[in-house]
Amino acid sequence: MKRVSKIDPDQLTGEPRKIFERWSPGGKPLNIVLIYFRNIELNRTWSYMATHLFLKNSLSDRQREIVVLRISWQCASDYEFIQHVRIAREGGLLSEEEMRDLTKPRLLLDWTEEEKALSDASDELLANHTISDATWDILARHYSEQQLMDMIATAGGYTLNSMATNSFGVDIEDHMSREEGLTPSINEKGFCYGAKQPPVDAELKPRIDALSEDALDEMTGDTLSYFLGQNRFQNFYLTLAKHPKIVRNWSPVIKYVDSENTLTAEERTVVAIRTGVLCCSDYEVANRVADARRSGMNEEHLNSLIKGEAEDHKTSLIIKAVDELVDGQIIGDALWTEMIGHFSEEQLMDIVFGCAIGLMTSWMQSALQVPLEPELKLPAST
């Protein structure tokens, strides 16, 4: 079902045009680029992070593709999975047997310990929105702090692309085909192989220690101040500062989603709080609630959002969209059809990306076990 119309490239000038051409191999734009650029400012800011994940990732190309293929298969994204089968083949990154093994509930081939942990961590993030101690211990023995952050960001970033390509109706390129055994949509459903775990009610120790503010290099400090605001020197961003490149490349789209997209301020808050709740991130919820209180939102309304209750129809639609995206990585046909009567294409794209960026940050916060600031508390209704 095609849902979002493609951009006319002639409408693009300046920096967006340069970004568009950069993502158009051989001068032929990919379908994902033609549709993402329907919302020009969204894609301009997301492109920094997309470039980081695909071209500047501290994981090796093979390690990155293990994560991308595992996560996009489980998200049932034909577009992302088939694109990255091509990338893995052309780069000689994975064998045919390895790519097919990544579609199985349990890996059967003789992967290295650290490669199997990449697949396990992807499963756990999608199922539980965090990484178990056992899997983290293996990852931490083999990967640097920056690689650990990039692993989580890669899983989150390609879950974002899966949510977007699924929900926007992005079809595979004309020259590609759906192969038996390598196409999520023609295989049995029930993709999420990670075991659901009950929440752990215990004091968590940070897995990566945050920097102090006076330890920030000038460029990272300036980035945090400009993009995230003076009040954003929080434990999460000071932890991310251990990886300055991820801070610089992720910050533009975070700022866009938080304060510059086509949704109203209250609609952004609905997306952010509901996503944090569903992703089980106490850190995200507590900080989003604190932001909402500072903006003047009353406690009754906040508690309703936390519970997934709505006071009006449009808010109800946003909550349902976030629920479907987090649970199944797509806004279903019935809900999408209802939403197009209330939101523009750009606003629908911003809802999907707002949820997906919230999921990425929630996964990072929970997997790194970022401690809540002492002055913040979770609402009793959480």
Q: Which residue carries 């119309």 as its tokens?
A: 5
- Least confident interval from 198-202, 217-221, 281-285: 198-202
**CA dist., res. 205 & res. 184, Å (int):** 37
pLDDT of residue 123: 95
Q: What is the mean pLDDT of residues 110-116?
A: 97
Q: Is pLDDT above 90 for 339? A: yes
pLDDT of residue 72: 96
**CA dist., res. 137 & res. 113, Å (int):** 11
- The helix, strand and coil proportions of the chain, stated in percent and rounded to the nearest 5, come to 65, 0, 35
Q: What's at 225, amino acid-wise? A: S
Q: Where are the alpha helices (DSSP H) in 102-173?
A: 113-128, 133-142, 145-168
Is residue 87 a contact partner of residue 65, using CB atoms and an 8 Å limit? yes
Q: Is pLDDT above 90 for 221? A: no
Q: Is pLDDT above 90 for 217? A: no
pLDDT of residue 220: 86
- Confidence bin at 374 (pLDDT 50/70/90): confident
Instruction: Note the Cα 57 to chain centre separation in Å.
Output: 15
Burial class of 169 by CB neighbour count within 10 A (0 to 12, 13 to 18, 19+) = middle
**CA dist., res. 370 & res. 207, Å (int):** 8
Q: Is pLDDT above 90 for 185? A: no
**CA dist., res. 311 & res. 22, Å (int):** 44
pLDDT tens-digit map of 245-281: 999 999 999 999 999 999 999 999 999 999 999 999 9
pLDDT of residue 200: 53
**CA dist., res. 28 & res. 26, Å (int):** 5
pLDDT tens-digit map of 26-78: 888 899 999 999 999 999 999 999 999 999 999 999 999 999 999 999 999 99
pLDDT tens-digit map of 70-105: 999 999 999 999 999 999 999 999 999 999 999 999
Q: Which residue carries 């967006």 as its tokens?
A: 16
Q: Would you state the structure tokens that stand for residue 62, as one six-digit string? A: 């093979």
pLDDT of residue 197: 62
Q: Is pLDDT above 60 for 198? A: no
CB atoms < 10 A from the CB of 160, how many? 28
pLDDT of residue 64: 98
Q: Is pLDDT above 70 for 1? A: no
At 361, is the secondary structure helix, strand, or coil? Answer: helix
- Does the model's pTM come out above 0.75? yes
Q: What is the mean pLDDT of residues 232-241?
A: 84
- Confidence bin at 232 (pLDDT 50/70/90): low
Q: Is pLDDT above 90 for 338? A: yes
Largest CA distance in the chain: 56
Separation of first and last alpha carbons in the chain: 36
> Measured at the alpha carbon of residue 349, what is the angle toward residues 279 and 322, in degrees to the nearest 5?
25
pLDDT higher for 122 or 217?
A: 122
pLDDT of residue 195: 58
pLDDT of residue 233: 60
**CA dist., res. 176 & res. 189, Å (int):** 22
**CA dist., res. 292 & res. 283, Å (int):** 14
Q: Would you state the structure tokens that stand for residue 314, as one six-digit string? A: 């449009």
**Percent of the chain whose pLDDT exceeds 90:** 71
Is residue 173 a contact partner of residue 148, using CB atoms and an 8 Å limit? no
Averaged confidence pLDDT in the chain? 91
